[in-house]
Structure 1
């Protein structure tokens, strides 16, 4: 037992975890458990890259198809403009897989961008259930006619209306800890210029 303890201590001093080394050798994407010291000097805004692809609450089918074909993003923010000041308001986040389900079923297609959720279509949770690895539909599997490309889809009923967000001035190290500890796939960054609506606080 003592020999094993000494050998492990010596090995850890010269090399990282064997599983980490295997993932790095295979070139697999891997997020370190701890933030590097330099990350404390950076904000989230310092590492952002673009362009940011977003959709409106009611979006044209052709626009969705175009964005899905030219990007590999897994999630897309849903934003809408306020008529009072033309500012953009975050409505939520929708996943690529859910968009493909909507485009494949076509039940939610509308001829005009009217204000009625889902175009009267009915979906169940099973329709959006995560498929097994490699079994999901892709954008190339869809058959959309030219007429359907001019139709619209109300994305709001299928949107995650409460995605995790951080302000753009947050420390990159803090955002990394949040991202990893919560096991997130997406973390939306919002401007620091926004109104404060409330505060959660511990009473102890």
Structure 2
């Protein structure tokens, strides 16, 4: 806002100087002689509003803020016009505002609610395959195996399957919840490293001492079918605010898609869109490059100097530029020096 106000006030001072120098111009025909016509402070107000709107991509909010600051209804119309023009110009260069840019710089997975994403492909192309994932078997884990899993992997969550053969999904547990539950179990004297763990109702046995992880397991994770369009996947992430989606086929786990995968695809699309948008401009500017003078760099190289006519031996090296050099050791040889360094 300070930058916009400074630019606006500078422009207002220029207009005020023009009015004082040429009051009879048609541009100032509506100004009365004895009444101040040009107020640089109004230009500063409009400049601050337009800069704020173009930076944050906010429209109505900026107009309301400026009206509350000034309590002058007469300035609402010029502010609305400036905000509309500035946002339209800013959108021509990119849809993301200042806050979205900060989020992207920090690498946070963020999907804008105001932006439409048009992606190509299906969920099968974007997901991480089940063979590359670390899954938890509902009734075949011990406290030691779960501890090793946390130490050896860096995943933020783990799908819980009925068995490694069927890969039927029975739940999902976050890494933070699993680590907290394991820490509590290790602190208790009731469990040892070989104590079995329970992650599903059908795997619980009341006759055996087991570590019950069921309170931390999400028994109904959000899933999508394989072959789902990526645009529908992105819409699901944006509308539901989930961090992951399990890709299944008839209940069997095929893979997982995280929000970061979708954000990565969106950023790739944005880069491709920027290249395609700039390609007409670059193709138009390309013929103009032949009118630009080509630089002639003065590169230094090293050339062998030959000793005599009968026997060619390297006596030393001489720095050269584009010129014809005569070997002082053998006046019968003229060495033509060029950029290729051939010495012929």
TM-score tier, shorter chain, comes to 0.5 to 0.7
Aligned to 1:21: 101
2:86 aligns with: 7
Give the gaps of 5 or more residues in structure 1: 121-151, 195-204
TM-score, with structure 1 as normaliser? 0.64
Q: Which structure 2 residues correspond to residues 50-89 of structure 1 after superposition, within 5 A?
A: 50=129, 51-58=132-139, 59-81=141-163, 86-89=165-168
Which of 207, 214, 225 is 1:156 aligned to?
214
* C-alpha separation in 1, matches of 2:168 and 2:104: 39
Query: Residue 176 of structure 1 aligns with which residue?
Result: 234
Aligned to 1:145: none
Ranked by relative contact order (alpha carbons within 8 Å, sequence separation 6 or more), the top structure is 1
Aligned-partner Cα distance in 1 for 2:116–2:170 = 30
Q: Distance in 1 between matches of 2:211 and 2:251?
A: 31
Pairwise CA distance, 1:27: 3.8
Moved over 6 A (4+): none
The 1:90/1:56 distance shift into structure 2, 3 A limit, reads same
Q: Given that residues 94 and 159 in structure 1 are in contact (C-alpha distance below 8 angstroms), is that contact kept between their aligned partners in structure 2?
A: yes
- Structure 1 vs Structure 2 CA RMSD: 2.9
Indicate the larger mover: 65-74 or 51-60: 65-74
Residue 209 (structure 2) pairs with residue 167 (structure 1): no
Whether the aligned pair in 2 keeps the contact of 1:57 and 1:155 (CA below 8 Å) is: no
Structure-2 separation of matches of 1:191 and 1:68: 27
What's the secondary structure of 1:88's corresponding residue?
coil
The structure whose residues are more often helix, as a share, is 2
Aligned residues: 157
Question: Greater Rg, structure 1 or structure 2?
Answer: 2
Asked whether the 8 Å contact 2:143–2:195 carries over to 1, the reply is no
Most deviating of 89-98 and 102-111: 102-111
SS at match of 1:189: strand
